[in-house]
């Protein structure tokens, strides 16, 4: 009897930790109902156990609803996708079309290794300051964190405005993804656009900022592809189990990288704004450092107005009916988690339902997940959900 009561208590704690009250609103935003991780069934644990079904299921009011997004299960000429073989062709069609619109990548750099600049010990983790080429003409530096213990280990690339925040050097809390994942047994590589962010350019411009031939957000994805290839060569890393994660700007970066480069085994996107929406200043894909590149002088930062219009590719994407649901679908059947906040509330399930439908065609379920919190910033509970998601899908 005591055992039964204990198991019921664990199940209830787990349900509270992951559940979302899809009908309760706080300040106009749908609020998540979480218990503290210190009180939850997962406190102090790093288990690759089962994830609750609730994170893979849209609330009833969004189930089987697809919004006004164009279905990825139709070819561009309108022909429906009916088989897995059809999907393979459709996936290639979408990938080719997006690369054509955003600018073709240079060849991914597969023949380089990390250059080690400095090594220190932090608790049971070895931290390496490293450098490599993330574009054909530009190096970057970041931090490789390797926990003690015999390999092979899963790994996660984390991306942000600069690489120090993710290893615990930031001023804002709950953004130390690389450090926390390394403490849980993952090898991590923390990257960021430090110099570009200081200059308010934020992104990567190839071959130059005055004449970018690839949309900057796509170029960030290309840089992450090169990072995957150097990380895959690190001793003790299992190259079949490398994921990517980022928050906000980093969430957009992680989303485009994982969707456009299929070697990422899974991904977490923390509140990037997973679809186009002109009413949200943080869902700002129109900015010149994302998908609205144009030579300087740049438009004034902020919402699109008559006096401050968007320019470049973003206008074409909107006018011709494209949306990021097509990119999401490129993930199938690889799993991903949207750690939603103010920019990705539960109604985003209507966009995610399209990828769920693709997975159903391919014979997979529980590959598209979303959790929710009211605020844009991550918190202790949302981060614990992220870490458990990676443990489940990347640990044996």
pLDDT digits (tens, 9 = 90+) for 175-228: 999 999 999 999 999 999 999 999 999 999 999 999 999 999 999 999 999 999
pLDDT digits (tens, 9 = 90+) for 296-349: 999 999 999 999 999 999 999 999 999 999 999 999 999 999 999 999 999 999
Q: Does pLDDT of 92 surpass 60?
A: yes
Query: How much is the pLDDT for 42?
Result: 30
Query: How much is the pLDDT for 50?
Result: 83
Q: What would the mean pLDDT of 10-28 be, rounded to a whole number?
A: 36
Q: Does pLDDT of 2 surpass 50?
A: no
Of 112, 138, 150, 144, the C-alpha closest to 233 is 112
Q: What would the mean pLDDT of 365-378 be, rounded to a whole number?
A: 98
Query: What single DSSP character describes residue 44?
Result: T
Query: How much is the pLDDT for 219?
Result: 98
Cβ–Cβ under 8 Å, residues 310 and 301:
no
Q: Does pLDDT of 390 surpass 60?
A: yes
Residue 52: is it exposed, middle or buried by C-beta count within 10 angstroms (0-12/13-18/19+)? middle
Query: How much is the pLDDT for 101?
Result: 98
Query: How much is the pLDDT for 396?
Result: 79
pLDDT digits (tens, 9 = 90+) for 236-273: 999 999 999 999 999 999 999 999 999 999 999 999 99
Of 193, 192, 205, 225, the C-alpha closest to 293 is 205
Q: Does pLDDT of 356 surpass 90?
A: yes
Q: What would the mean pLDDT of 278-287 be, rounded to a whole number?
A: 97
Query: What single DSSP character describes residue 105?
Result: P
The CA distances from residue 303 to 13, 164, 215, 266, in Å, are 41, 30, 19, 32
For the chain, the domains span: 73-394
When the candidates are 3.10.310.10, 3.30.1300.10, 3.30.70.100, 3.40.50.1820, the CATH number that belongs to 73-394 is 3.40.50.1820
Percent of the chain past pLDDT 70, that is, above it, reads 88
Cβ–Cβ under 8 Å, residues 131 and 217:
no
- Could you tell me which residue, 7 or 75, shows the higher pLDDT? 75
Give the separation between CA 165 and CA 176, rounded to whole angstroms. 6
Query: How much is the pLDDT for 49?
Result: 60
CA dihedral over 337, 342, 182, 223, signed as positive or negative? positive
pLDDT digits (tens, 9 = 90+) for 24-64: 222 222 222 222 333 332 333 344 468 999 999 999 999 99
- Tell me the HSE value of 174 on the side-chain side, using a 13 A CA sphere: 17
Give the separation between CA 371 and CA 344, rounded to whole angstroms. 9
- Could you tell me which residue, 8 or 22, shows the higher pLDDT? 8
Q: Name residues whose C-beta falls within 8 Å of residue 131's C-beta, 6 or more positions apart in sequence.
A: 114, 115, 117, 139, 140, 141, 142
Query: What single DSSP character describes residue 294?
Result: -
pLDDT band at 151 (very low <50, low <70, confident <90, very high): confident
Q: What is the pTM of this model?
A: 0.88
Could you give the angle at which helices 249-260 and 216-231 cross, rounded to 10 degrees? 70
Give the separation between CA 389 and CA 243, rounded to whole angstroms. 11
- Could you tell me which residue, 8 or 138, shows the higher pLDDT? 138
Query: How much is the pLDDT for 36?
Result: 30
Query: How much is the pLDDT for 22?
Result: 30
Tokens of 290: 């994302």
Cβ–Cβ under 8 Å, residues 249 and 172:
no
Q: Does pLDDT of 276 surpass 90?
A: yes
| Chain length of the chain | 396
* C-alpha radius of gyration, the chain, whole number: 21
Query: How much is the pLDDT for 1?
Result: 45
Mean pLDDT of the chain: 90
């Amino acid at each position: 009897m005591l055992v039964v009561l204990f198991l019921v208590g664990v199940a209830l704690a787990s349900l509270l930790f992951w559940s979302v009250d899809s009908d309760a609103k706080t300040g106009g935003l749908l609020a998540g109902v979480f218990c503290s991780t210190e009180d939850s069934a997962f406190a102090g644990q790093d288990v690759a156990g089962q994830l609750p079904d609730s994170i893979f299921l849209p609330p009833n009011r969004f189930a089987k609803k697809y919004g006004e997004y164009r279905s990825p299960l139709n070819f561009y000429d309108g022909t429906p996708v009916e088989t897995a073989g059809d999907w393979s062709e459709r996936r290639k069609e979408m990938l080719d079309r997006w690369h054509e619109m955003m600018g073709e990548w240079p060849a991914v750099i597969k023949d380089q290794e990390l250059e080690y600049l400095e090594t220190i010990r932090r608790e049971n983790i070895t931290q390496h300051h490293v450098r490599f080429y993330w574009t054909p003409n530009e190096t970057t530096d970041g931090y490789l964190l390797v926990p003690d213990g015999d390999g092979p280990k899963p790994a996660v690339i984390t991306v942000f405005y600069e690489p120090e925040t993710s290893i615990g050097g930031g001023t804002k809390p709950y953004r130390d993804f690389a450090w926390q994942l390394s403490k849980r047994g993952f090898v991590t590589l923390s990257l960021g656009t430090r110099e570009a962010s200081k200059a308010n350019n934020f992104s990567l411009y190839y071959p130059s900022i005055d004449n970018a031939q690839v949309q900057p957000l796509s170029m960030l994805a290309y840089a992450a592809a090169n990072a995957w290839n150097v990380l895959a060569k690190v001793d003790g890393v299992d190259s079949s189990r490398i994921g990517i994660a980022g928050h906000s700007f980093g969430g957009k970066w992680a989303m485009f990288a994982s969707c456009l480069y299929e070697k990422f085994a899974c991904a977490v996107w923390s509140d990037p704004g997973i679809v186009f929406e002109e009413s949200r200043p943080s869902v700002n894909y129109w900015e010149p450092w994302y998908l609205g590149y144009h030579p300087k002088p740049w438009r004034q930062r902020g919402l699109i107005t008559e006096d401050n219009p968007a320019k470049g590719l973003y206008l074409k994407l909107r006018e011709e009916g494209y949306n990021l649901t097509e990119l999401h679908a490129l993930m199938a059947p690889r799993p991903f988690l949207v750690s939603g906040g103010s920019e990705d509330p539960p109604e985003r399930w209507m966009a995610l339902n399209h990828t769920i439908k693709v997975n159903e065609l391919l014979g997979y379920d529980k590959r598209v997940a979303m959790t929710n919190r009211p605020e844009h910033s991550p918190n202790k509970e949302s981060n614990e959900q992220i870490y458990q998601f990676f443990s489940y899908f990347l640990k044996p």
